[in-house]
Amino acid sequence: MTETLAETTAQAEEPLAEFPMPRAAGCPFDPPPATRVLQNERPIAKVRLWDGSTPWLVTRHADQRALLGDPRVSSDPLVPGFPHPNEGFRENSKRRRTFLGMDDPEHARIRRMVTAPFAIKRVEALRPDIQKITDDLIDAMLAGPTPVDLVRAFALPLPSLVICRLLGVPYEDHDFFQKNSSVLINMASSVEDVVRANEALTDYLDNLVAAKLADPADDMLSELAARVRAGELTQREAANMGVLLLIAGHETTANMIALGTVALLEHPDQLAVLRETDDPKAVARAVEELLRYLSIVHNGRRRVALEDIEVGGETIRAGDGIILHTGTGNWDAEVFPEPERLDISRDARRHMAFGFGVHQCLGQPLARLELQVVYSTLYRRIPTLRLATGLDQLPFKHDGAVYGVYELPVTW
Amino acid sequence: MRVEVDVPKCVGSGQCVMIAPDVFDQREEDGIVVLLNDRPPAELHADVEESAVVCPAAAIRVVEK
Ligand code: SF4
């Protein structure tokens, strides 16, 4: 007991590492080196955030899974001690409550209202449509000049067209919602900008839900509108859910397409295997490995302890913030031998790129399908695809909630 | 092998259906797990074990080896 006390005091006196931690120059795909040192030396360690708070940073795969699956750990950003990533997020969490920030049973009740369209079979039925969208975008790119920005020409429009169609949002408005959604997930955005972007998007979705109430179609917003009519949701709650699905549908897959392409171009042997295979299982395996390797939700899943929890030799106290750095967990050599090696033939299914526990990504079957179609089509149809600039010139999204590149100039 | 699913726990992530489609399915109306075969044949045991490990909600249990 005395010893533990002494240790705690010793740790309190040491200056704590600041979080988030920077990546190493020249290693754009690797998790920050400091997180990997902690993983070896102090896998559950206190760190200091922007507001001076000192949550726990958890870096090992096993501890992360234990905590993410633990009902004593809350996702509610309104619980004191929750480690907000910045002021904008803290402000927004008061304004826009979604199932992402709720605990069971409320979380399960609301989440189940939107799970049906993401069931494996319903998503699989979209394969021909997604293939067509992919081929059309590649045709347009091939017909245009080079170099071209792969993000604007392909990586962003593809998931955007798909999620718009599923939700029933008119794609013509894409400039408006893409701009606002990128403000919302950029850590460098001011509080005012975040609040304004959130309001603009919520009002926009609110109007759409109202339109679907009057004139329903075969899409998710109409299903949500039906819930509003049945009194299960308020119109504002339905709009909040729409904002969440629209942003999630955009930012993640778009970044996986662009960043995945950069990673594959830097690993030509792996790219060649992917380009040549006809086996859908091999493609599916490659998708899992790229999800693991890149872990684009890169600054940690955030939680707060509701009770004292013993884990990995530490005691996390009730009210302590917890950051699960799943990007580092996905590079845990105990689960993924030689984690720094991109190996599209490995079995990477235990990765936590979609999170873990009850909040694990709802849209993962759709994301997987989009990535399988893209990775098995793009490099085959443009076999000479290459960067039109140096790797060191690419603008990486260090400040984003989702990692990726802002622009990807390519040629062929 | 005997398998059990804890339906109220399931979050409909579909991981089990992806890994072992002959053993697990999802309800049409909300994507929640449906157990198709609680005594899967030996050649599916590894996939079922993997589904239990990967299931984010710990809703799948292998009760008899
Ligand atoms: S993997 Fe688990 S949570 Fe996902 S559908 Fe199957 S039982 Fe449900």
User: What distances in angstroms separate CA A75 from CA A323, A327, A358, one per listed residue?
Assistant: 11, 19, 10
- Judged by CB atoms closer than 8 Å, whether chains meet at B29 and A116 is answered as yes
- State chain A's mean pLDDT as an integer: 93
Whether A358 has a pLDDT exceeding 80, the answer reads yes
CA distance A352 to A67: 13
Give residue A108 CA to ligand 1 midpoint distance, Å: 13
Whether A224 has a pLDDT exceeding 70, the answer reads yes
Which atom of ligand 1 is the closest one to the Cα of B31? 5
Question: What are the E-state strand segments in A239-341?
Answer: 301-305, 309-311, 314-316, 321-324
Ligand 1 — pocket residues by CB below 6 A?
B 5, 10-16, 24, 33, 55-57, 59-60
Q: Are strands A44-48 and A17-18 parallel, antiparallel or unpaired?
A: parallel
Looking at residue A60, what is its pLDDT? 98
Query: Which residue of chain B has the CA closest to A356?
Result: B56
Residue A373 in tokens: 């179609």
- Picking from A108, A115, A360, the nearest residue to B56 by CB comes out as A360
Looking at residue A6, what is its pLDDT? 47
Q: Model confidence at A14, in pLDDT bands (50, 70, 90)?
A: low
Give residue A356 CA to ligand 1 midpoint distance, Å: 11
Looking at residue A163, what is its pLDDT? 94
Give residue B25 CA to ligand 1 midpoint distance, Å: 9
Please name the helix (run of DSSP H) or strand (run of DSSP E) that holds residue A288, with its range, or none.
helix A280-294
Residues A331-353: tens digit of each pLDDT: 999 999 999 999 999 999 999 99
Stretch A146-152: mean pLDDT, rounded? 97
Q: Model confidence at A13, in pLDDT bands (50, 70, 90)?
A: low
Looking at residue A2, what is its pLDDT? 45
The total number of residues shown for chain B amounts to 65
A365-394 burial code (b ≥16 CB/10 A, e <16): bbbbbbbbbbbbbbbebbeebebeeeeeeb
Strands of the A409-411 sheet, one edge to the other: A148-149, A409-411, A386-387
The answer to pTM > 0.90 is yes
Residues A28-81: tens digit of each pLDDT: 999 999 999 999 999 999 999 999 999 999 999 999 999 999 999 999 999 999
Residue among A57, A59, A32 at smallest CA distance from A45: A57
Query: B13 contacts in A (CB within 8 Å)?
Result: 354, 360-362, 364
Residues B6-52: tens digit of each pLDDT: 999 999 999 999 999 999 999 998 999 999 999 999 999 999 999 99
Looking at residue A1, what is its pLDDT? 42
Query: Which residue of chain A has the CA closest to B18?
Result: A120
Determine the distance in angstroms separating the CA of A81 from the nearest CA of chain B, rounded to an integer. 25
Q: How many CB pairs under 8 A join A and B?
A: 68
